[in-house]
Structure 1
């Protein structure tokens, strides 16, 4: 697929158009609409984020075609779904260039307040610069800096924002200070705090354990030693604690009940831009890392993982207090995830003639994600601690690490109005087991490291139908891209009831094996899941439609995706052979437009996805994709002080699992009803220092279900919510 620079990078240097020599036309085209003319990329600007006032980053992208949200409605239980790829490992998320996310059973992993963000770029489908872990696409979030907020001639500024939501009695506040004390320095600091009670659903019931208590911070500073050199440092932190379901992406607490969950998430990044006065160097170096520390505490009786205790007062056994090993107390899970990454890109322009242009993008990426997991009872001398979790080791959630090196190259050829961009990428992956898993593998001499290399190809073609100097643009394009997803540490090295390689005397296809690995750990029986995506489309831009001053931009995109070696299809067949030959075929339509006439604007998006799924033994409905969706957003500036907008969202029925799934019970499929949602937004700014905003969400108090992350019936969504905001700017 074609690679595209982030909006922040595009703002720093003139972008190289895929098909247009007039750089300014393309820049305005994307600045005004957020619609990329030749790729499946949509950018949500800071202006759009201000209009939407989303409660979280997931709400901010719901209206992008091909995008939906799985899990929820708690932010910790939400995951992005792009073209129906809803697992957190299928959609890559980056914050200021650093990949985010981690492996944990049924939990989301994107923790950042939208108040901190300048823009969100949504890439649908694999891109040459994203690589593995992006079968569905990539979410690229860029944080704010002082230059985005300062008024002309202003050196320092501050902004205070207070909010209240009536549905769950939510209070939010944000404090921001920023400045450019010197032309060579840009500094911003933001503190955000959000506190709420449990939310009320559309049917009037209270969703237990849905309260929020989070704090976010951003410190960002940029240094410009010379006109061609820039250093940007970003530090983002997020803290949250409260009662939540163990299965965060599911509905009401299920088998594993509730936990008290504490999250400490931090990300740091350093980005260097070097753009000397030569066409051969346009260098960007981004490196960074971070950690996510998570603790789940389960009191006795709160979860099936830690049943109720009789005759215990805390850790004291009432019948005989001298017996100190009889009461276990709380069960605690400790997760520590550490991420390190580096991303180096350079674009060289070798030929820049009036008819022929030739440039090449070179890139290198490195990423390492390591996780340590421990499970302890409060009473570590409890008689079953060593038997169940020796030294804190839980075989169902093995510790380990995953890392990769990748190189890619993407030349760009432009012949008049035609452009071509082939691409090649090679990834070398290493997945390693650690901790107690090593002791489980050693007796069977089974490898504790999985190493493999994967090549990926891409190709982008585009043709400008109208002359290049015509302000009206009509572009035909086609893109092809390959992607893959390596198995998780959990999939490679889990032992026990959650392993697909569980050894039994009788083979139950898709659940247990007789001839699998003697350890019961799958290891290299798994192959990476692969995909090939092809799309064709047409985009249109007219800055003066019918000579009326109406600005129109739109795009129609058709795609087809083949996904093979489905990880869920690993199984031992009746003849003893072990295969992973499940596949999916998806076909989709995505349509988006932006129309503006004077102070009025209309943004629309429509998407639909269909196809078939072979799970390794039979064809089943494609229950992994969302329902077809239509989004309309209409707004206007009534005066210099008053702005209003109205949003309509319609989602059609979708296929879901409604039953079955046990050892002797086949899956039963049904439908989840569609729904219609209305939101509204009113902003009044009586002075340049003071602004008020009222946001109405789910105004009809619709009772509807969100998409479940596991393909079943989703949980009911939040009911009507009226939010009030006051902004003070200096």
Structure 2
């Protein structure tokens, strides 16, 4: 199962990315050039994941100037460029960074990407997949005595061009092209202090503002999601554990306007307090438990008011009898109240909320094993997750198709298995995933419920890499997906496929300042439709076929 982003809590440097402008296109995008790390939590998790993390959380952290500077550097620059053969695409980026004085450092990154339409494995050009994107990040960081840190960042992303009205569907008569302008802006101010000899003070605060909008130029219509919020937390550290507690607040606004009708909007407030504690009960036993209490207050475009409140507790136990073996058992609940809807559904005469709409509640039970011995790693994870009273719109003929209701129970259950091998210059891994996702006993991913997620067949992901020398590395990866036969009634079976990728990396200079990469994606030019995309359905609608063979040449030069 592939969860949609509206089931997750997604943050960029702690700034919440709320809701969606339109359910046929994603609202979460991040430039890989800017990333420092990505943290993924599957399923309802701990209290620090934020309010309403029904399906889990994804936290993106962008780089600081210090992450780019070498130990003896005060200023530097990083130039990157790449070219893709399939769509004649190119990408360039320039980062400038340095220390202003002993306390302050700064960085600025600009990224430009352009691409023509790509071709699938049969050489067919896929219309309206061309794009032009720009991305910019400015960050200023100050560090002072007592481990004090001040951070100010501004990130802006532009993605304009002629695109299909429903970008996740292929070109068709009911899916024409339109001129679109998609922009996202995220601003953040953060402050933290953690004196070395003070176990009671480890304060971390951040305030943020995010605006995500899509304008359909031809229709002169604009959908916008804006979010501002604050998170204040402190940690107490002890010899056998720690306690983190805090409060957060978020205001979301979804709006739609066009020249043909009056503007409409929805507003929602989320107030939360939380506590998460970790205790070392014994040398081999770690207990982690906590809870959130959240209050949701939302006024929709029809001036209906909704209010929900409740706890989201969690507990997990980690048993480590030795350095090679870990076993973890966890249980978590999450509550999410009625939130603002996507912008392009609140126009006059559009979708409405049922008057009795209430909160969703998730439960997640998981058990995992990790074992490492002499370079061999074995892992297994079994999970069972449910979301009760899940909010979605009903199927045509069964309920009012344009009304959001509590539509029953969503169940996601499965197992993941992994084997890895690390021996000197050779690394290899194999991972298997089997999951089943159902809404009221029916597989999800049908024509009417793709806002909840997509069903896929069993996955096997493999990789092998070999370090020939300190400067030269080669690798192969493969993704193998089984045919999906258990589908929703209005979705056809999904064909299985296997895709192979190769990559090589060469650093010819001893100081690693120059890096050359070559990547070949879809090595054998496989013709396939990624199962995580839409359809195909019995009504004829389906997502595009995946790109065929693509060679990418990249260069990174640090000055």
TM-score clears 0.5: yes
**2:555 pairs with 1:704:** no
Structure 1 gap ranges (5+): 1-82, 299-330, 377-384, 439-447, 467-471, 500-520, 659-666
Residues 1:206 and 2:72 are matched in the alignment: no
In structure 2, C-alpha distance between the alignment counterparts of 1:254 and 1:224, rounded to whole Å: 57
Determine if the alignment matches structure 1 residue 457 to structure 2 residue 313. yes
Question: Structure 1 CA distance, aligned partners of 2:245 and 2:79?
Answer: 42
Trace 1:245-256 onto structure 2 (pairs within 5 A): 245-253=164-172, 255-256=174-175
Shift of 1:669: 4.2
Deviation, 1:98, is 0.4
- Counterparts of 1:711 and 1:535, CA distance in 2: 32
Query: Partners in 2 of 1:261 and 1:597 — Cα distance?
Result: 50
Q: For residue 166 of structure 1, report the CA deviation from its aligned partner.
A: 0.8
Contact 2:357 2:405 in 1 (8 A): no
CA contact (8 A) 1:450 1:523 kept: no
Distance 1:721 1:221, change over 3 A: same
Partner of 1:284: 204
Q: 1:597 to 1:405 in 2, by over 3 A?
A: same
Segment of structure 1 superposing worse, 251-260 or 454-463: 251-260
1:641 Cα deviation (Å)?
A: 2.2
Match of residue 588 from structure 1? 414
Give the 3 Å change call, closer, same or farther, for CA 679–647 of structure 1 in structure 2: same
Alignment match of 1:294 (pick from 208, 211, 214): 214
Structure 1 residues 581 and 258: CA distance shift in structure 2, 3 A: closer
Q: Distance in 2 between matches of 1:454 and 1:674?
A: 43
Change (3 A) 1:432 1:612: closer
Deviations 1:391-448 (A, max 9, x none): 3x4xxxx5212220111112222211212222121111111235xx45xxxxxxxxx3
Cα deviations across residues 325-356 of structure 1 (Å, max 9, x unaligned)? xxxxxx2111232210212222212x41xxxx
Where does residue 266 of structure 1 map in the other structure? 185
State how far apart, in whole Å, the 1-side matches of 2:162 and 2:30 are. 19
Unaligned runs of 5+ in 2: 446-453
Partner of 2:115: 196
Contact preservation (8 Å) 2:135, 2:157: yes
- 2:95 maps to 1:176: yes
Counterpart position of 1:483: 334
Instruction: State the structure with more CA Rg.
Output: 1
Quick one: structure 1 residues 723 and 656, their matched pair in 2 at CA, closer, same or farther if it must change by over 3 Å? Answer: farther
The residue that corresponds to 2:32 in the other structure is 114
Q: Which moved more, 1:594-603 or 1:531-540?
A: 594-603
Equivalent of 1:625 in 446, 455, 459: 455
Equivalent-residue separation in structure 1 for 2:300 and 2:411 (angstroms): 33
Given the superposition, is the C-alpha separation of residues 332 and 655 from structure 1 closer, same or farther in structure 2, using an over 3 Å criterion? farther
| Deviation, structure 1 residue 289 | 0.9
1:513 matched to which residue of 2? none
What is aligned with 1:531?
362
Using the alignment, how far apart are the partners of 2:289 and 2:536 within structure 1? 36
User: Cα–Cα, structure 1 residues 491 and 696, in superposed 2: closer, same or farther, change >3 Å?
Assistant: closer
Equivalent residue runs for 1:535-554 within 5 Å:
535-542=366-373, 545=374, 550=375, 552-554=376-378
1:626/1:403 CA distance change after superposition, 3 Å: farther
For 2:60, the equivalent position in structure 1 comes to 141
Alignment of 1:475-514 (within 5 A): 475-490=326-341, 494=346, 499=351
Match of 1:412 among 278, 293, 306: 278
Matched, 1:342 2:230: yes
Native 8 Å contact 2:254 2:342 kept in 1: no
- Deviation readout 1:656-712 (Å, 9 max, x if unpaired): 768xxxxxxxx4343101111111111122224332211111111111112235785
What are the equivalent positions in structure 2 for 1:646-725 lying under 5 Å apart?
A: 646-654=476-484, 667-687=489-509, 688-706=512-530, 707-708=532-533, 712=537, 713-725=542-554
**Matches of 1:605 and 1:220 in 2, distance apart?**
37
Deviations 1:159-186 (A, max 9, x none): 1111111111101111111123434222
Residue 84 of structure 2 contacts residue 551 of structure 2 at CA under 8 Å; is this kept in 1?
yes
Q: What RMSD in Å do the two structures reach over aligned CA positions?
A: 2.6
Q: Does 1:522 align with 2:353?
A: yes
Structure 1 residues 432 and 569 mapped into 2: Cα distance closer, same or farther (>3 Å)? closer
Q: 1:79 is matched with which residue?
A: none
Aligned length: 534
Alignment partner of 1:463: what SS? strand
Closer, same or farther: CA 561–406 of 1 in aligned 2, 3 Å = same
Distance 1:593 1:134, change over 3 A: farther
Q: SS in structure 2 opposite 1:205?
A: coil
* Higher strand content, 1 or 2: 2
Determine the C-alpha separation between the residues in 2 that align with 1:711 and 1:408.
Answer: 43
Deviation at 1:133, TM superposition (A): 4.2
Structure 1 residues 626-657: Cα deviation after superposition (integer angstroms, max 9, x where no partner)? 22211112112212221111111111223576
1:130 is displaced (CA, Å) by 2.1
Q: CA deviation at 1:214?
A: 0.5
SS in 2 for 1:242: strand
Instruction: Calculate the TM-score normalised by the size of structure 2.
Output: 0.89
Q: Secondary structure at the match of 2:525?
A: coil
Q: Distance in 1 between matches of 2:552 and 2:226?
A: 36
